[in-house]
Amino acid sequence: MNVDHLPVMSREVIEVLAPFEGGTYIDATVGLGGHSAMLLQKIGQDGKVIGIDRDDEALARTAAKLGDTRLILRKGNFSDMESILHTQGLDEADGVLLDLGVSMMQLKDLGRGFSFNSKERLDMRMDSSQELSAWDVVNEYSERELVRILKEYGEEYRAVKIVRSLLHERNKKSIDTCLELAEIISRSTGRHGKVHPATKTFQALRIEVNSELDELKKGLSAALRVLRKGGRFCVISYHSLEDRVVKHFIRENAKAEVLKQLMKKPLIPGLEEIRANPSSRSAKMRGAEKL
């Protein structure tokens, strides 16, 4: 496994989910199978891991890499985990893991149009069979919709300015590549500091294209439904919008005495992990147990 595929906060995931022999676990974002591989080591011959991902390529690579009859891989959105579990003849799970966002493979390997310094076509779909892509959002959404998305999903205070320059350019010709979009944004806002001025816009587009926050809310509710009493879930998120959704979900359900919050503050990766795997640096993990 190369460094890019090190599963984030794997020690903490195992501590929180406490997998046991014969248990059933849902790895709802199986990706390249890093966390699944660790779960498989803990569940004995009779345990099962249901690995879900919306990305065909991730599933194919994980199947080839792990090839284990205890790992059942299914394509789908994690909001559908309940029906995916039922199609396996199972009613409940002992643990659910959500490791949100995109994988390094999607960001770098596949030319999926996520990175602002690439000449790839604006795409950003995790599921390549989905219709809506970032190209459609950038070239076809109205000014109002774009401003809303940039403000809501990117927390971009320069949303109006950026969207005006985007509209100005797309009236001349369509904005086709990541680099074209990033340059339009740089020209509109100027470059200050270390963070690329297109960062927030790209985050907002990705969230819109993949309905990430909606999926997360539905996925958390689905996790709660499929867990047995005493079962646990844990979520690793990578930006504050996601973490906020997870925090509120756990708080509300803890108040209603449906969940027990397992940690008050989110866990974060240690310095050693960040050094070995810099892409883990923004990770935050929260977990809860079903009462």
Ligand X SMILES: C[S@@+](CC[C@H](N)C(=O)[O-])C[C@H]1O[C@@H](n2cnc3c(N)ncnc32)[C@H](O)[C@@H]1O
Residue 163 contacts ligand X per CB under 6 A: no
- Please report how close the Cβ of residue 105 comes to ligand X at its closest, in angstroms: 7
- Which residue, 220 or 227, is less far from ligand X as judged by CB? 220
Residue 55 contacts ligand X per CB under 6 A: yes
Residue 53 contacts ligand X per CB under 6 A: yes
- Annotate 115-145 with b (16+ C-beta within 10 A) or e (fewer): ebebebbbbbbbeeeeeebbbebbeebeeee
68-to-7, 71, 84 alpha-carbon distances in Å: 18, 5, 18
Residue 99 contacts ligand X per CB under 6 A: yes
Closest-CA residue to 73 (of 37, 43, 41): 37
- Please report how close the Cβ of residue 32 comes to ligand X at its closest, in angstroms: 4
Residue 202 contacts ligand X per CB under 6 A: no
Q: Give CA–CA dist 157/161, Å, rounded.
A: 9
Q: Give CA–CA dist 197/203, Å, rounded.
A: 11
Residue 233 contacts ligand X per CB under 6 A: no
54-to-31, 58, 77, 222 alpha-carbon distances in Å: 9, 8, 6, 16
26-to-41, 117, 165, 211, 289 alpha-carbon distances in Å: 15, 35, 44, 21, 15
- Please report how close the Cβ of residue 211 comes to ligand X at its closest, in angstroms: 8
Reading phi first (left if > 0) and then psi (alpha if -120 to 50, else beta), residue 24 is in beta
- Which residue, 102 or 205, is less far from ligand X as judged by CB? 102
- Which residue, 46 or 214, is less far from ligand X as judged by CB? 214
Closest-CA residue to 211 (of 56, 88, 54): 54
Only segment of 27-35, 154-162, 170-178, 180-188 that touches ligand X (CB under 6 A): 27-35
Residue 126 contacts ligand X per CB under 6 A: yes
Neighbours of 69 (CB within 10 A): 7
Contact residue for ligand X among 101, 154, 269, 287 (CB under 6 A): 101
Residue 33 contacts ligand X per CB under 6 A: yes
Residue 203 contacts ligand X per CB under 6 A: no
Residue 103 contacts ligand X per CB under 6 A: yes
- Please report how close the Cβ of residue 244 comes to ligand X at its closest, in angstroms: 17
Q: Which residues bind ligand X (CB under 6 A)?
A: 5, 7, 29, 31-35, 52-55, 58, 77-78, 99, 101-103, 126, 215
